[in-house]
């Protein structure tokens, strides 16, 4: 069994950047509640500045927020963008068979959930061209709707002075789930409530799997310095 590290994240983290120093993550985010009161948010990134990877954000019923990430570098970046009480490096793996997703972060976590049909918001999201939905500017349209329909925000300030935009492109319901954390059965599927407190975006109350392109902008001061030097 590999040794798992619990540590205090260090900043800053350097990684490849795109236009205007922005970082782009393309993949899926799953939000799951359990009858024990523990809520989990899984990120499964097919394309990112760090290469493909997965991570888990977990908030217990007592409010303790835990990050599980596959490397020190990804953990440092995520913990610099969101808020946690503890960060651990562990091999986070995702296996998908049809509608069944299995997420493991040994020896800490095993999560299984079943994906169902699209609700109405999912049908609307899937109808938007992917290139348009992924643009940060499109969130000016989606943010008011997300606040009204889901109680969420799709754009705002993140940790370390960064800006963040969620370009949702699809949505499916999660219809069943089971999880074991540190040897404890977390129970069956439940709403994601109270809302998780990792960042401004939170997660929908109804368990769901969102296809998303997330864009993270640099701290505003750094962005201004780059713009000035380019003149």
How large a percentage of the chain has pLDDT more than 70?
Answer: 82
| pLDDT reported for residue 164 | 80
Higher pLDDT, 40 or 152: 40
The 3-state DSSP class for residue 230 equals helix
> Hey, how many other C-beta atoms are within 10 angstroms of the C-beta on 118?
17
How large a percentage of the chain has pLDDT more than 90?
Answer: 55
State how far the Cα of 143 lies from the Cα of 163, in Å rounded to an integer.
14
Least confident among 99-103, 166-170, 176-180: 166-170
Distance of CA 109 to the CA centre of its chain: 17
Q: For 159-187, what is the mean pLDDT?
A: 90
Least confident among 78-87, 99-108, 153-162: 153-162
Q: For 87-113, what is the mean pLDDT?
A: 96
- For the CA atoms of 80, 81, 83, 88, the dihedral, rounded to the nearest 10 degrees, stands at -60
| pLDDT reported for residue 162 | 80
* C-beta of residue 23 within 8 angstroms of C-beta of residue 216: yes
Domains in the chain, CATH or no CATH each: 26-230 (2.40.400)
pLDDT band at 128 (very low <50, low <70, confident <90, very high): confident
| pLDDT reported for residue 224 | 46
Reported as a single tens digit per residue, the pLDDT across 135-164 is: 878 777 777 777 666 666 777 777 777 888
């Amino acid at each position: 069994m590999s040794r798992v590290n619990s540590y205090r994240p260090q900043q800053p983290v350097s990684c490849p950047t795109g236009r205007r120093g922005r970082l782009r993550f393309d993949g899926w985010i799953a939000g799951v509640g359990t009858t024990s009161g523990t809520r989990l948010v899984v990120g499964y990134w097919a394309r990112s500045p760090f290469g493909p990877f997965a991570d888990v954000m977990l908030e217990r019923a007592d409010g303790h927020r835990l990050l599980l990430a596959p490397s020190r570098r990804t953990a440092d970046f995520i913990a610099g963008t969101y808020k946690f009480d503890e960060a651990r490096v562990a091999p986070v793996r995702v296996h998908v068979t049809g509608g069944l997703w299995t997420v493991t972060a040994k020896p800490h976590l095993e999560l299984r959930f079943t994906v169902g049909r699209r609700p109405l918001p999912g049908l609307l999201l899937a109808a938007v061209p992917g290139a348009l939905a992924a643009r940060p500017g499109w969130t000016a349209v989606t943010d008011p709707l997300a606040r009204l329909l889901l109680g969420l925000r799709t754009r705002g300030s993140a940790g370390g002075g960064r800006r963040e935009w969620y370009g949702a492109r699809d949505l499916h319901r999660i219809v069943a789930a089971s999880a074991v954390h540190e040897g404890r059965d977390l129970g069956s599927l439940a709403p994601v409530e109270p809302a998780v407190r990792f960042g401004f975006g939170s997660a929908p109350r109804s368990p769901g799997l969102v296809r998303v392109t997330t864009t993270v902008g640099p701290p505003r001061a750094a962005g201004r310095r780059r713009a000035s030097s380019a003149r």
